[in-house]
């Protein structure tokens, strides 16, 4: 081989190799759409028009998902302590939970970083009933939650998702993609599978709690407006004896 001649790099023999490398090399969970864009973009940049690169670029989202599923099954079969998981609609490699105790020692992970019981309870309320106002959380827990909400926001587990239309327009809180990653969830619907006795509130139902409809406001105004065509009714007289007062109570 001549000095100036670059060593030949072997071509990937399968789409599985490429997809596996992209998931491993990404600094965050990667979606099927991002993988597909990479395959297409690589084909556009290649100058030698390699047939294999072109073939990979033609892979459909369904084919990419099938490849990802195959990688996941193969890792589970081999039992290497590494799993392929879908988190928030994206895919990443992560260590098997059963190996956690050894990893904590390796990484010198301090258990004090775990969420406290009150923080977990508050987070669960937000997760299952989002969007939710602070006053609702307080009414459920029976204690103030200001410091807990601040802590959960600093950990990027919850965020402000809007404002209620109720008086005072309080902030509404919801979970973040980091929440899904932290608990290994693909989407919020999986919360129902964790504990069937706790079902997430429907989005429309939660939105209705914080919405003042125009019709309701009109009804309120109508109820408070005197009807000039209704004859005056007899005004009830207050009780005139001690016996009457006691019977009313």
The pLDDT tens digits of the residues spanning 2-58 come to: 556 666 678 888 999 999 999 999 998 999 999 999 999 999 887 666 888 999 999
Q: Identify whether residues 120 and 196 lie together within a single domain.
A: yes
Count of domains observed in the chain: 2
pLDDT, tens digit, 9 for 90 and up, residues 110-157? 655 578 899 999 999 999 999 999 999 999 998 989 999 999 999 999
Looking at residue 160, its pLDDT comes to: 93
Q: Which domain holds residue 186?
A: 115-209
Looking at residue 46, its pLDDT comes to: 79
Q: Identify whether residues 98 and 119 lie together within a single domain.
A: no
Among 78, 104, 130, give the residue marking a domain's end.
104
Number of Cβ within a 10 Å radius of residue 143:
10
Q: Is residue 171 part of a domain?
A: yes
Q: Identify whether residues 93 and 160 lie together within a single domain.
A: no
The CA distance from 58 to 52, in Å, is 10
> CATH code at 96?
1.10.10.10
Q: Identify whether residues 72 and 144 lie together within a single domain.
A: no
pLDDT at 74 over 70: yes
The CA distance from 148 to 118, in Å, is 8
The CA distance from 21 to 39, in Å, is 12
pLDDT at 68 over 70: yes
**Residue 148 · residue 119 · CB < 8 Å:** yes
Among 104, 138, 155, give the residue marking a domain's end.
104
Q: Is residue 147 part of a domain?
A: yes
């Amino acid at each position: 081989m001549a000095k100036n001649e670059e060593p030949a790099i072997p071509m990937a023999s399968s789409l599985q190799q490429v997809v596996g490398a992209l998931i491993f090399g990404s600094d965050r969970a990667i979606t099927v759409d991002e993988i597909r864009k990479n395959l297409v973009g690589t084909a556009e940049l290649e100058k030698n028009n390699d047939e294999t690169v072109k073939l990979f670029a033609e892979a459909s989202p369904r084919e990419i998902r099938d490849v990802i599923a195959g990688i996941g099954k193969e890792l589970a079969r081999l039992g290497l302590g590494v799993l392929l998981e879908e988190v928030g609609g994206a895919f990443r490699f992560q260590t098997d939970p059963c190996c956690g105790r050894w990893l904590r020692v390796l990484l010198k992970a301090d258990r004090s970083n775990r969420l406290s019981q009150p923080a977990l309870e508050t987070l669960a309320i937000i997760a299952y009933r989002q969007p939710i106002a602070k006053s609702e959380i307080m009414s459920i827990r029976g204690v103030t939650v200001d410091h807990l909400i601040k802590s959960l926001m600093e950990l990027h587990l919850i965020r402000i998702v809007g404002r209620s239309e109720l008086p005072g327009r309080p902030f509404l809180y919801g979970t973040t993609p980091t929440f899904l990653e932290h608990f290994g969830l693909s989407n919020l619907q999986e919360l129902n599978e964790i504990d069937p006795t706790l079902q997430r509130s429907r989005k429309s139902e939660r939105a209705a709690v914080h919405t003042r409809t125009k019709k309701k406001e009109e009804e309120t105004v109508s109820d408070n407006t005197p009807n000039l065509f209704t004859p005056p009714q007899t005004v009830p007289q207050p009780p005139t004896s001690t016996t009457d007062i006691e019977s009313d109570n």
